[in-house]
């Protein structure tokens, strides 16, 4: 039996055991993991160094090496996040609905763990700890499949998690790492409906697309963000510019940063000029559509490709429209259904925007950078869903649960 | 452009239009459809007859012809269901959650239509009206792909729906039928992520499996039911037998009918004998496991295959276990995660069963036949989900909605 099948089988077997554990038992295990991470910091860093050295030998870009790298502070942050997680309410077991039927049947809809979660991710070793802890907190079992470039770090972290789980009441098999990082194994994992309840890809667009196109296991899609801000003709100049600058430059590499600005043709020309210059002062490269090209002859004209692109960088494309409807159509056509904002004083346009834009999060007069589980007050975040089934937008702990109906009777039969 | 792509594109374009329609406008359209169905009954029956004749020529089994057949009563029932649907609350637009953040952001989670729903189904033409009406009620657009054996009936019904939609404020493209029923077109439909938000297969296990294995569009799985009743050692004889007989024979062809009974070895032998005899009197063919084979020498012994099978017929397999845990393990291994019941006076066993059995609906002392949107009081049913994401168990109208977050600010930027 392959490593994958063996571990998937063990994962499935651990589900029942996990279902019997109390919130207190799960939180205790999280505290043990936090402590063990601190205690084993030298070992983790030593193993992480192996991955870093391999990456350097291969000439990997420093920004990717930074994603791969662990240090004392980062390990302390992981431990801190685990401690915080113990303070959050446990969604599993919560009664979501009660129905009393005329025939005396008493129906409860109860939140339950999803079961076995397959987590597929890229070079960030912190996802190993993050994903494991969120799954354990919600009573799930997790099968981790990280990148080969982080294999030593991931093995070390899972080793440390196992040390902690052995001190706890939770089964060690609740967290397992697939060490075989071949593509064939990943393809097998996508089709493992017998053992897996859900797959969660965490990483870039290519990874997510591969999973969506190839998985028969249901996927919880955490998505790319080609986010837009639309400035209508009534928008306050200062507010619009402040929000655009924040949404573009406060952290350009994340999915809720904006990539596009759409301005209404009646928003004063001097405002648009001020906006472009301010962005340029912040180091942002601007690309404009043909209509705006005339006003900004020195600025690159955007291609069709630009409107589809999530730059994740100091680049922004600017488009002019003649109506709010045109802006909405553009967003629905080119966007990634993540986060979009409208800056306006016109309530009618807000309502139209909120009703017709097909995205997970829509803002009026605020930065798209708030689309985040912590900013929404969830206390934790699994990711930001850009799909429409199950969960949409920032996902807190409840997104890692399903539900079941439990029905109590006294002999009822169907007439 | 193929028929499929052309209609999928038109479906996507109809989404915005549907989003602007009020509950009253949607309900009015449903009433128009109900009236038009009654008015056009002769036309519908004439077209339905073509399908029936083709089926008879092909020597199709009468039970399948019965599924295909429409008559005045069945059309009146469809119209009645449409009228009832107008009485139900519209889930789209409901505010599901309100969050006020310390920074002044006001966040609302609002239920919204899913968008474009692809409905794939078999020979029952009533699904054409049923699926269309549920989708319209919730503000969705639907692309129907029925079976070639019902093509004349489906075309007639969609023609009648279009006549009604043209009198209404809803776009006619909100309901479209793919007339090309080839496999290639179905395969294309499975991968149409650009235009479809969700696929709902309605039909037998083979259809559902094909969709799950091949679709990259998210699937709402409505499932097969290999349902179990477990009778523990404390179960009341009469209650247990009444419930088993009801769950098996009240309507054997449906997914919430039971296929298996598991008895604890300490439940009195005379009770088991009485149970078997009563089932046999109801025309049920019994198959037993090896252990029970000794007590029932004239009864067929069940094969491994039997434990996996959803008979949907007057057949039932009976198994003996020595503990509640063994019963639970058997159900989790062989079951289809649909509906299971425990008959017992022991609360501890109920709790164990409710906690550990991994199915959508779990019953204590009641028949599994209650797993149904109407029996749960939902007033409508899209199907019974046996998957864990999005919706589990009987699905009412809210299962055809997603949500979005709408956030109102006054210039907030992320520090």
Residues 235-294 of A with CB under 8 A from B: 236, 239, 242-243, 246-247, 250
Cα angle B210, B216, B221 (rounded to 5 degrees) comes to 55
CB-CB neighbors (< 8 A) of B405 in chain A: 360-362, 371, 376, 392-394
Max CA distance (Å), chain B: 80
Question: How does residue B64 score in pLDDT terms, banded at 50, 70 and 90?
Answer: confident
Q: What tens digit of pLDDT does each residue of A93-108 get? A: 999 999 999 999 999 9
- The tokens of B139 are what? 């503000």
Q: How far is B159 from chain A (nearest CA, A)?
A: 29
Question: How does residue B62 score in pLDDT terms, banded at 50, 70 and 90?
Answer: confident
Q: What tens digit of pLDDT does each residue of B230-265 get? A: 999 999 999 999 999 999 999 998 999 999 999 999
B358, B362, B407 member nearest A370 (Cβ): B407
Torsion of CA A11, B212, A255, B196, to 10 degrees: -160
CA B147/CA B125 separation, integer angstroms:
9
What is the pLDDT averaged over residues B16-45?
98
CA A342/CA A367 separation, integer angstroms:
9
Hey, CA dihedral for B303, B305, B306, B311, is it positive or negative? negative
CB-CB neighbors (< 8 A) of A254 in chain B: none
Q: Which of B369, B62, B152 is nearest to A407 (CA)?
A: B369
The pLDDT, as a whole number, for residue A62 is 87
Instruction: Report residues of chain A scoring pLDDT below 50.
Output: none
Query: Average pLDDT over chain B, rounded to whole?
Result: 96
Q: Is B360 on the interface with A (CB under 8 A)?
A: yes
Q: Which of A334-348, B193-207, B379-393 has the highest mean pLDDT?
A: A334-348
CA A10/CA A4 separation, integer angstroms:
10
A16, A101, A213 member nearest B377 (Cβ): A101
What is the pLDDT averaged over residues B203-223?
90
Question: How does residue B204 score in pLDDT terms, banded at 50, 70 and 90?
Answer: confident
Q: What tens digit of pLDDT does each residue of A354-396 get? A: 999 999 999 999 999 999 999 999 999 989 999 999 999 999 9
Query: Cβ(A330)–Cβ(A321) under 8 Å?
Result: yes
Q: Is B356 on the interface with A (CB under 8 A)?
A: yes
CB-CB neighbors (< 8 A) of B338 in chain A: none
CA A398/CA A91 separation, integer angstroms:
6
CB-CB neighbors (< 8 A) of B239 in chain A: 411
- The full DSSP string for A6-43 is HHHHHHHHHHHHHHT--HHHHHHHHHHHHHHHHHTHHH
Residues 178-207 of B with CB under 8 A from A: 191, 193, 197-198
Domains of chain B with CATH codes: 3-222+390-408 (3.40.605.10), 227-370 (3.40.309.10)
Residues 99-128 of A with CB under 8 A from B: 99, 101, 105, 107, 109, 114-115
The pLDDT, as a whole number, for residue A222 is 85
Q: What tens digit of pLDDT does each residue of A1-42 get? A: 899 999 999 999 999 999 999 999 999 999 999 999 999 999
CB-CB neighbors (< 8 A) of A385 in chain B: none
Q: Is B409 on the interface with A (CB under 8 A)?
A: yes
Q: Is B348 on the interface with A (CB under 8 A)?
A: no
**3-state class (DSSP) for residue A327:** helix
Q: Is B95 on the interface with A (CB under 8 A)?
A: no
Q: Compute the 3-state secondary structure of chain B and give helix, strand, coil in percent, each to the nearest 5.
A: 45, 20, 35
Q: How far is B191 from chain A (nearest CA, A)?
A: 8
B356, B359, B393 member nearest A16 (Cβ): B356
Q: Has residue B96 got a pLDDT over 90? A: yes
């Amino acid at each position: 039996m392959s490593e994958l099948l063996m571990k998937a089988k063990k994962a499935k077997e651990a589900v029942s055991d996990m279902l019997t554990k109390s919130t207190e038992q799960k939180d205790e295990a999280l505290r043990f993991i936090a402590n063990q991470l601190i205690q084993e910091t030298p070992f983790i860093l030593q193993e992480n160094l192996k991955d870093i050295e391999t990456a350097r030998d291969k000439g990997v870009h420093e920004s990717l090496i930074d994603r791969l790298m662990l240090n004392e502070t980062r390990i302390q942050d992981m431990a801190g996040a685990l401690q915080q997680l113990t303070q959050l309410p446990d969604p599993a077991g919560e009664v979501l609905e009660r129905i009393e039927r005329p025939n005396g049947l008493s129906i409860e809809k109860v939140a339950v763990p999803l079961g076995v979660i397959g987590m597929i991710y890229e070079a960030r070793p912190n996802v190993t700890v993050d994903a494991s802890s969120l799954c354990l907190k919600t009573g799930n079992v997790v099968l981790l499949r990280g990148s080969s470039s982080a294999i030593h770090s991931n093995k070390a972290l899972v080793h440390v998690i196992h040390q902690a789980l052995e001190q706890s009441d939770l089964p060690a098999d609740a967290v397992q790492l697939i060490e075989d990082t071949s593509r064939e194994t990943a393809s097998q994992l996508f089709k493992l409906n017998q053992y897996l309840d859900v797959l969660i890809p965490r990483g870039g667009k290519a990874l997510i697309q591969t999973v969506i196109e190839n998985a028969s296991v249901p996927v919880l899609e955490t998505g790319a963000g080609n986010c837009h801000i639309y400035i209508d003709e009534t928008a306050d100049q200062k507010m619009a510019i402040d929000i655009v600058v924040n949404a573009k430059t406060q952290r350009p590499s994340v999915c809720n940063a904006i990539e596009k600005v759409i301005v209404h043709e009646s928003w004063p020309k001097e405002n648009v000029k001020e906006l472009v210059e301010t962005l340029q002062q912040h180091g942002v490269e601007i690309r404009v559509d043909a209509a705006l090209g005339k006003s900004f002859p020195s600025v690159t004209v955007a291609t069709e490709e630009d409107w589809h692109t999530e730059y994740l960088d100091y680049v922004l494309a600017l488009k002019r429209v003649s109506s709010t409807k045109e802006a909405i159509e553009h967003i629905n056509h080119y966007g990634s259904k993540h986060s979009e904002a409208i800056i306006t004083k016109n309530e009618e346009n807000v309502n139209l925007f909120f009703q017709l834009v097909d995205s997970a999060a829509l803002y009026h007069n605020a930065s798209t950078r708030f689309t985040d589980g912590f900013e929404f007050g969830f206390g934790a975040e699994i990711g930001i869903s850009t799909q429409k089934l199950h969960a949409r937008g920032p996902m807190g702990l409840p997104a890692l649960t399903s539900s079941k109906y439990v029905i109590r009777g006294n002999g009822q039969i169907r007439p």
